[in-house]
Amino acid sequence: MSKKYYIETMGCQMNEYDSDHLARIFEDSGYVRAGDPEKADFVLLNTCSVREKAEQKALSRLGRLATLKRKKPRTLLAVAGCVAQQRGVDLLERFPGLDLVLGPREIGNFRKILGRTEKGATRVAAIDSQKTPASFSGGFEYFQRHVKAYLTIMEGCNNFCSYCIVPYVRGRETSRSPRELLDEAKRLTLQGVKEITLLGQNVNSYVHQKMRFPALLAAMSEIKGLYRIRFTTSHPKDLSPELIQCFAHTEKLCSHIHLPFQAGSNRVLKTMRRGYTREKYMDLIGELRKARPGIAVTSDVMVGFPGETEEEFELTLDLIRTIEFDNLFSFKYSDREGTPAARMEGKIPERKKLERLAHLQDLQRKITLKKNRGLINKKVEVLVEGPSKKGLALTGRTTTNKVVNFTCDNEQIGKLIDVTIRRVSFNSLCGELTSLKS
């Protein structure tokens, strides 16, 4: 009888990519996926610590899984990701039932670590942050049930924004070789993947020897069978003119960019150590819209950074009104232990942060709805991904990364179709099939 594994993923797309890597190693080692942790022989929690709430959620979940381990002592329990890297051996002391702590840069060694753990190796903390990013191997059939996939092209961050824990848990920037990345992308398309999202903490700072990110995008676009390319996340200070021009000339590159701005005040941006001004950010958006008319722009924004005044918060709202983002991922500031911002004075009261966040989210909701309503009766190209969450229709995304639900036969999964939009909401669009394209 096959052993079973269970992976639970929290956080960003890079964690999802890492979890896919871990799952392939499990399956190559004879495991099969379990639907819930109680039925698994090996339980792994892949965690995020970018914000305090995410870290506390991860620790709380790990505590509940440790309770399961007490009921089934032979179950192996592991924690991976940023919380594992940040907390390290302390997690082994806090959770006596924990067998393995696995940092992000150690995932490439998981095959060996898994073998040692199965043989009853002493509780392990593998948290070397200097190792080369992992590359996929084996498990050729794993992605045959996927229309789209993630591909991490670089790890780490050199920016050290004053509020951010990422450089401390993911290490310094290290880019994977283009040959390795292109080979992996080709293997994905051979399994039926039609859309690949290139990932990195600061994806547009990718450089390997003489190849920079725009050249990598050009090489990726030559892969046969690949319909669409996306990338995330970008840093405004590294958004070069050459990369902007990729949106003008690279047909497979989707009409969407996620470009975090974080705050609308130049003083706050300087204190955050972001390396650009609001004026520079708005100029970049103008150049992007010139290169690819109709491009969708999404972003990250933070409210309540230490010392943020009402006037500075209003500058953030003004920037949102001016640019009219398609959507925003908005957060209230929280201290991250070990970062410069955690030691700053002028902390904003929790109640005030929540008020500002609600105000900002209400503004963005109106902008998103207005943009979505502008698509009613318009025809959009959609890559069909599979059944919708409601199960009554199929779902896919436009090149601008908007979710569309529609009705057509399952044979169209993995194909490009035209859909005419009939109804919209804040989160998604509903339409009817207009024509088949591929």
pLDDT bracket for residue 125 (50, 70, 90): confident
CA distance 260 to 297: 10
Domain 4-126, CATH number (from 3.30.420.40, 3.40.50.12160, 3.40.50.720, 3.40.47.10): 3.40.50.12160
Q: At the top level of CATH, which class does the domain 140-373 belong to?
A: alpha beta
DSSP letters, 192-260, are T--EEEEE-TTGGG-EETTEEHHHHHHHHTT-TT--EEEEE---GGG--HHHHHHHHH-TTB-SEEE--
Q: Which of 313, 312, 306 is nearest to 343 (CA)?
A: 306
Whether 97 and 69 have beta carbons less than 8 Å apart is answered as: yes
Distance from chain centroid for Cα 49: 13
Torsion angle in degrees (nearest 10) through CA of 420, 423, 426, 428? -50
Would you place residue 118 in the very low, low, confident or very high pLDDT band (cuts 50, 70, 90)? confident
DSSP codes, 391-403? SSSEEEEETT--E
Tokens of 392: 């009554």
Q: Band of the pLDDT at 34, cuts 50, 70, 90?
A: very high
Phi, psi of 267 (to 5 degrees): -65, -45
Torsion angles phi and psi, residue 345, rounded to 5: -90, 175
DSSP, collapsed to helix, strand or coil, labels residue 416 as strand
Q: What's the DSSP call for residue 106?
A: G
Domains 4-126 and 379-436 share a fold: no
- Tell me the helices (H) and strands (E) count for the chain, helix number first: 13, 21
- Which tokens in the block code for residue 244? 């902007």
**What is the domain partition of the chain in residue ranges?**
4-126, 140-373, 379-436
Dist CA 380 CA 83 (whole Å) = 40
Place of tokens 């009104």: 321
Is the sign of the CA dihedral 355, 361, 367, 369 positive or negative? negative
Count how many residues are written for the chain: 438
Q: What is the pLDDT of residue 392?
A: 66
Q: Say which range, 99-103, 141-145, 325-329, has the weakest mean pLDDT.
A: 141-145
pTM value is: 0.89
Say yes or no to pLDDT of 140 above 60.
no
Closest CA to 391 of 405, 402, 401, 403: 405
286 or 408, which is more confident? 286
Q: Which of 19-28, 36-45, 387-396 has the lowest mean pLDDT?
A: 387-396
Confidence of residue 417 (pLDDT cuts 50, 70, 90): very high
> Which one of 3.40.50.261, 2.40.50.140, 3.30.390.50, 3.40.1830.10 gives the CATH number of domain 379-436?
2.40.50.140
Count the neighbouring beta carbons within 10 Å of the beta carbon of residue 133: 22
Q: Are 175 and 208 in contact (CB under 8 A)?
A: yes
Dihedral (Cα; 187, 31, 45, 331), 10-degree rounding: 30
pLDDT (tens digit, 9 = 90+) per residue, 246-264? 999 999 999 999 999 999 9
Q: State whether the Cα torsion 33-82-108-195 is positive or negative.
A: positive
pLDDT of residue 123: 82
Contact by Cβ (8 Å): 226, 39:
no
> Do 396 and 382 meet the contact criterion of CB atoms below 8 Å apart?
yes
Q: What is the pLDDT confidence band of residue 139, given thresholds at 50, 70 and 90? A: low
The beta strands (E) that lie in 335-399 are given as: 379-387, 394-398
How does residue 131 score in pLDDT terms, banded at 50, 70 and 90? low
- Beta strands 4-9; 42-47: pairing state: parallel
- Smallest Cα–Cα separation from 65: which of 92, 95, 86, 89? 95
DSSP string, 271-306: HHT-S--HHHHHHHHHHHHHHSTT-EEEEEEEE--T
